[in-house]
């Protein structure tokens, strides 16, 4: 079905839901999704109030070996954890001094040793596509050698859990969700058991802007409250743009729990990286089928605030 037909069907379903007045019944779910209070919806799905933090994973210019000097929007320290021969393990982003100091020093030593030398240490990359394993301090470390993009740009591959299965080359950046173009959310594994699977859908609603934006779940993360650049900008009423710089990369971020996140708990759909419009249409259809704005309005007053 084409994106136009999907949108037409979504509009019809939304009108029907508005007329019927869907409810937002459910039960409290403490601690799920990394937030104090979540709401387990009757019939499946999870809702919770949270912030809007911005996740840029999937962007072709997210990470570069030379960081900002190479044109990257995100520092490498946000993409990995160092494991040292004495058993010390730390995330590069634990503080600013570690990020630009100790982490980069250790990464340089580990790279010079070939990324897999147990006597020097290893980096476990999670924001960057990594390959190979190493055993350091008696523990197996995966994804230790960062992969550069196939286009020769020098940027590292920034993957997302949702990927286009028809593009077999994992080093091809275009196979992943483009966060500048696609409204996508991060879902914690703790709510996956409630149907919030990678490739399923949901909606983010700003109670201040009164803007609802359907999304696809594109990645896994520690807590509810992370969305792509496109999702954050759309919820804030800003236009989607490919002109993203270090100065405006966090436009649309919300630092208070003023965004209602609803994960529908529906089925997943195949992701086509070449057709962002189809993903948008599928998310809009899922929103309408779930109950649309009528049900969302009820959830605003029913879901407990964080």
For residues 140 and 240, membership in a common domain is answered with no
H and E: helices and strands count for the chain? 6, 13
For residues 91 and 235, membership in a common domain is answered with no
Q: Give domain status of residue 235, yes or no.
A: yes
> Is the confidence at residue 1, as pLDDT, over 80?
no
CA distance 71 to 73: 7
* Mean pLDDT score of the chain: 92
Would you say 50 and 35 are in contact if contact means Cβ atoms under 8 Å apart?
Answer: yes
Residue 8, SS3?
helix
Over the range 196-224, which residues count as b (16 or more CB within 10 Å of their CB) and which as e? bbbbbbbbbbbeebeebbbbbbbbbbebb
> Is the confidence at residue 275, as pLDDT, over 60?
yes
Would you say 207 and 260 are in contact if contact means Cβ atoms under 8 Å apart?
Answer: yes
Q: Radius of gyration over alpha carbons of the chain, in Å? A: 20
For residues 183 and 38, membership in a common domain is answered with yes
Domain boundary among 102, 128, 157: 157
Q: Give domain status of residue 162, yes or no.
A: no
Residue 72, SS3?
coil
For residues 52 and 92, membership in a common domain is answered with no
Read off the pLDDT of each residue in 35-55 and give the average, rounded to a whole number: 95
CA distance 78 to 88: 18
CA distance 20 to 24: 13
Phi, psi (degrees; rounded to nearest 5) at 32: -75, 145
Domain boundary among 124, 157, 190: 157
Tokens 């999702």 found at: 231
Q: Of all helices (H) and strands (E), which one includes residue 263?
A: strand 254-263
Residue 270, SS3?
coil
**Residue 31 — very low, low, confident or very high, per pLDDT cuts 50/70/90?**
confident
- Give alpha helix (H) positions in 34-119: 96-97, 104-112
Q: Give domain status of residue 166, yes or no.
A: no
Question: What pLDDT does 9 receive?
Answer: 52
Percent of the chain residues topping a pLDDT of 90: 86
**Residue 283 — very low, low, confident or very high, per pLDDT cuts 50/70/90?**
very high
Tokens 């993957």 found at: 159
Domain that holds residue 133: 67-157
Would you say 109 and 133 are in contact if contact means Cβ atoms under 8 Å apart?
Answer: no
More confident residue, 195 or 88: 88
Per residue in 139-164, pLDDT (tens digit) is 999 999 999 999 999 999 999 999 99
**Residue 195 — very low, low, confident or very high, per pLDDT cuts 50/70/90?**
confident
**Residue 194 — very low, low, confident or very high, per pLDDT cuts 50/70/90?**
confident
Read off the pLDDT of each residue in 202-219 and give the average, rounded to a whole number: 97
For residues 292 and 269, membership in a common domain is answered with yes
- CB neighbour list of residue 228: distance below 8 Å, 6 or more residues apart: 54, 55, 56, 58, 177, 179, 180, 182, 183, 184, 185, 215, 218
CA distance 278 to 160: 18
Question: What pLDDT does 33 receive?
Answer: 92
**Residue 30 — very low, low, confident or very high, per pLDDT cuts 50/70/90?**
confident
> Is the confidence at residue 15, as pLDDT, over 70?
no
Phi, psi (degrees; rounded to nearest 5) at 19: -70, -35
Q: Give domain status of residue 167, yes or no.
A: no
Domain count, the chain: 2
Exposure of 45 by Cβ count < 10 A (0-12 exposed, 13-18 middle, 19+ buried)? buried
Token code pair at residue 167: 């593009």
Q: Give domain status of residue 168, yes or no.
A: no
Read off the pLDDT of each residue in 218-228 and give the average, rounded to a whole number: 95
Per residue in 87-135, pLDDT (tens digit) is 999 999 999 999 999 999 999 999 999 999 999 999 999 999 999 999 9
Per residue in 54-83, pLDDT (tens digit) is 999 999 999 999 999 999 999 999 999 999
* Secondary structure (DSSP) of 107-163: HHHHHHTTS--TTT-EEEESSS-EEEEEEETTEEEEEEEEPBPTTSSSPBP---SSB
Q: Give domain status of residue 209, yes or no.
A: yes
Evaluate the CA torsion angle 63, 65, 69, 71 in order and state its sign.
negative
For residues 94 and 236, membership in a common domain is answered with no
Q: Give domain status of residue 285, yes or no.
A: yes
pTM: 0.89
For residues 215 and 288, membership in a common domain is answered with yes
CB-CB neighbours of 21 under 10 Å: 11
For residues 179 and 291, membership in a common domain is answered with yes
Domain boundary among 95, 127, 157: 157
Question: What pLDDT does 292 receive?
Answer: 96
Evaluate the CA torsion angle 270, 273, 277, 279 in order and state its sign.
positive
Question: What pLDDT does 11 receive?
Answer: 52
CATH number at residue 283: 2.40.40.10
Q: Give domain status of residue 286, yes or no.
A: yes
For residues 53 and 196, membership in a common domain is answered with yes
**Residue 282 — very low, low, confident or very high, per pLDDT cuts 50/70/90?**
very high
For residues 277 and 197, membership in a common domain is answered with yes
For residues 212 and 85, membership in a common domain is answered with no
Question: What pLDDT does 21 receive?
Answer: 42
For residues 135 and 211, membership in a common domain is answered with no
């Amino acid at each position: 079905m084409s994106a136009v037909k999907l949108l037409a069907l979504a509009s019809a379903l939304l009108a029907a839901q508005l007329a019927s007045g869907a409810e937002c019944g459910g039960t409290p779910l403490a601690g799920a999704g990394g937030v104090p209070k979540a709401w387990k919806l009757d019939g499946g799905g999870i809702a919770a109030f949270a912030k809007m933090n911005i996740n840029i994973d999937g962007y072709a210019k997210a990470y570069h070996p030379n960081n900002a000097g190479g044109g990257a929007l995100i520092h490498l320290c946000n993409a990995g954890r160092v494991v040292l021969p004495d058993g010390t393990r730390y995330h590069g982003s634990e503080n600013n001094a570690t990020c630009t100091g100790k982490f980069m020093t250790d990464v340089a030593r580990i790279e010079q040793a070939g990324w897999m030398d147990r006597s020097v240490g290893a980096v476990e990359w999670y924001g960057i596509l990594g390959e190979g394993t190493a055993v350091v301090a008696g523990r197996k470390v995966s994804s230790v050698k960062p992969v550069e993009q196939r286009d020769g740009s020098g940027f590292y591959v920034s993957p997302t859990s949702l990927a286009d299965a028809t593009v077999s080359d994992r080093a091809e950046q275009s196979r992943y969700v483009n966060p500048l173009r696609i409204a996508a959310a991060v879902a914690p594994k703790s709510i996956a058991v409630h149907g919030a699977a990678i490739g399923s859908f949901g909606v983010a609603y700003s109670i201040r802007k009164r803007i609802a934006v359907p999304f696809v779940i594109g990645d896994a993360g520690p807590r509810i409250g992370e969305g792509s650049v496109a999702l954050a900008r759309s919820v804030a009423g800003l236009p989607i743009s490919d002109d993203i710089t270090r100065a405006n990369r966090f436009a649309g971020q919300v630092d208070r729990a003023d965004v209602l996140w609803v994960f529908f708990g529906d089925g997943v759909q195949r992701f086509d990286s070449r057709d962002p419009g189809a993903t948008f249409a599928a998310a809009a259809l899922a929103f309408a089928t779930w109950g649309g704005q009528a049900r969302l309005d009820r959830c605003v007053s029913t879901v407990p605030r964080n």
